[in-house]
Structure 1
Amino acid sequence: MTEKQTQTMFSIATQCLLSFSYSCVIIHICLFFPGILRDTFTSLGYEVQSFLYLSVDDIIKVLHKVARMPQHQDYDSFVCVLVSRGGSQSVFGVDETHSGFPLDHIRRLFMGDVCPSLLGKPKIFFIQNYVVSEGQLEDSSFLEVDGPSVKDVESKARQPGACTIHREADFFWSLCKADVSLLKRPSSSSSLYLQCLCEKLGRERKCSLLELHIELNSKVYDWNSRVSAKKRYYVWLQHTLRKKLILSCT
């Protein structure tokens, strides 16, 4: 590896046995909480906080509190795993009558102008959303989009002397949608998407996160080719990473 390649790589947790410097929040609203999520990110050197079976109001409160954590200034990266029922563009809590919390609002809470302590650091989101309303799943899985996704990305003028790092830089946003009926199947104790993610993170620790996600997509695509529409998973990736990112504790 050249010196230039080394300089363009985020190597996570090289000192993880000495102290935690990585934060992970898991919000799981569905009935079954897979401990493998917590174990996977703990093994990667992340300090994991888990929140289970929250209402929408509580999800909002937790995310606001996490985004404002002063400890972020000491962390090198942040991971958020969210598993919930939802609509096509929002997540629900245990109170399903609520209209839900928009997914784009979640991302905005951690943008550089709102959460400056994470500016310039990787902000990684893995979201499994079980869509409640029929007809909201689009057959456009595996669409990968680089660059800012919010329409008003250039609408906010930069202030003189402000940091040159864009407020939307260094996001990794992996979203998987599936039909809510999967939660009612006895054999579906955990999301295929999350199972593959944990497997890849546990075994391929020298692989960049983008490469890992491509392999995850391949696994999901293979699954989708063998099952009915109701059993399929639909994965989208948007990222604004400026450097190669490897999640590794070794």
Structure 2
Amino acid sequence: MEKENDSAGEDELDVLGFGSKSNSSSKLSSERPVSRPTLEEYYDTTNKRRGVALVFCHMNFNSMAKRNGTDKDRDDICSILYDLDFDVRVFDDLNRQRVLETLKEVSQEDHSDSDCLVVVVMSHGEQGVVYARDNKYNVDSLWKNFVGNACPSLIGKPKMFFIQACRGEQFDQGVQFRPLKAAPKDMVDSKKDQVVFSIPAMADLLVMYSTFEGYYSWRNPRQGSWFIQSLCKELKENGKVRDLLTLLTGVSRRTAYEWQSFVPHDERMDAMKQIPCIVSMLTKTFYFTKKTRSKVVTAID
């Protein structure tokens, strides 16, 4: 299904606008034995709270094009995250300093009673950077305060980052194919003895980009961005029954198959496609289990 609608306006671009097994016979292993953790399959979701969800929405900029349609993305994703029992905090059009300060402040909070963390950023972007209202910052600034020992209360918990922004200036023209057959119609971890062990600093981090590295990312000024709208739809329909990576594969499928650019006055930009990119360092399976409802908190710069 291709979402092409004259009345909805032309699509726009978010441009400028992230060990090997121990060998008991090795010298290192014999001198520095590694404590092996109990290999639970599921992330612990028995905490009191689901966790904090930060939503950074950038529509207006000091020197770049306005991102029409991002307010719909913001409202839709906040509604979905609220329904999944997150403590949703919304930030509109922050400058670079306030974005970085906010991330630092939240990393210093106590997340001991939370299952996870979510950060959603919607803005202009280029390869390796995202834009705030006044200036750009490196994309890894989003998670550097939450990985490793930077945020002890989130160690061993999933930290999820969703980034709606361009990552370059290439267009995805898509490829045509003929399906071989018609397309179809439309835990709890047990408490065990505490064992001190080591995990990689970047473990339990997941970053999902709206597009592959080097490519443009698309947004419709009335319908919202392809990626965020696909994410909202997938979470709304399946968020409480499917595991996280299955959900995100569904987001990629929706973005890839249900959307195509509509820019009839510019052949170079018309009928383009887009595929999200998932970078996962998760070590377990995660489900959005039922929680007590949280409250939406709006922060104004």
Equivalent residue, structure 1, for 2:283: 242
- Find the partner of 1:29 among 25, 43, 58: 58
Equivalent residue, structure 1, for 2:100: 60
TM-superposition CA deviations, 1:84-107 (whole Å, max 9, x none):
112111111112xx2x11112322
C-alpha distance in 2 between matches for 1:24 and 1:140: 34
8 Å Cα contact 2:43/2:157 also seen in 1: no
Look up the equivalent residue of 2:52 and give its one-letter code.
Answer: S
Equivalent residue, structure 2, for 1:202: 236
Change (3 A) 1:192 1:249: farther
Q: Which has the higher strand share?
A: 1
Equivalent residue, structure 1, for 2:20: none
8 Å Cα contact 1:113/1:167 also seen in 2: yes
Q: Does 1:88 align with 2:120?
A: no
Look up the equivalent residue of 1:247 and give its one-letter code.
Answer: F
**Which secondary structure does the structure 1 equivalent of 2:169 belong to?**
coil
Change (3 A) 1:21 1:126: same
Q: CA deviation at 1:68?
A: 1.5
Q: CA deviation at 1:225?
A: 6.1
Q: CA deviation at 1:11?
A: 6.4
**Which secondary structure does the structure 2 equivalent of 1:113 belong to?**
helix
RMSD, matched Cα: 3.0
Equivalent residue, structure 1, for 2:247: 212
TM-superposition CA deviations, 1:84-132 (whole Å, max 9, x none):
112111111112xx2x11112322221122112111001011110145x
Q: CA deviation at 1:137?
A: 3.6
Q: Which has the higher helix share?
A: 1
C-alpha distance in 2 between matches for 1:186 and 1:21: 32
Equivalent residue, structure 2, for 1:112: 148
C-alpha distance in 2 between matches for 1:186 and 1:92: 19
Look up the equivalent residue of 1:243 and give its one-letter code.
Answer: K
Change (3 A) 1:105 1:186: closer
8 Å Cα contact 2:100/2:141 also seen in 1: no
Q: CA deviation at 1:174?
A: 0.4
Change (3 A) 1:173 1:242: same
**Which secondary structure does the structure 1 equivalent of 2:90 belong to?**
strand
If asked which structure has higher relative contact order (CA below 8 Å, sep 6+), I would say: 2
- Find the partner of 1:9 among 42, 52, 59: 42
Change (3 A) 1:11 1:233: farther
Q: CA deviation at 1:83?
A: 0.7
Q: TM-score if structure 1 supplies the norm length?
A: 0.74
Q: Report sequence identity in percent.
A: 22
C-alpha distance in 1 between matches for 2:128 and 2:93: 20
**Which secondary structure does the structure 2 equivalent of 1:218 belong to?**
helix
The number of residues matched between the two structures is 212
Equivalent positions of 1:164-175 (< 5 A) are 164-175=198-209
**Which secondary structure does the structure 1 equivalent of 2:256 belong to?**
helix
Equivalent positions of 1:58-207 (< 5 A) are 58-69=98-109, 71-95=110-134, 98=135, 100-130=136-166, 136-137=169-170, 163-177=197-211, 179=216, 182=218, 186-187=221-222, 189-204=223-238, 205-207=240-242
Equivalent residue, structure 1, for 2:274: 233
8 Å Cα contact 1:88/1:137 also seen in 2: no
C-alpha distance in 1 between matches for 2:164 and 2:225: 8
Structure 1 unaligned blocks of 5 or more: 1-6, 142-160
Structure 2 unaligned blocks of 5 or more: 1-39, 60-66, 175-194, 292-301
Look up the equivalent residue of 1:81 and give its one-letter code.
Answer: V
**Which secondary structure does the structure 2 equivalent of 1:241 belong to?**
coil
8 Å Cα contact 1:91/1:102 also seen in 2: yes
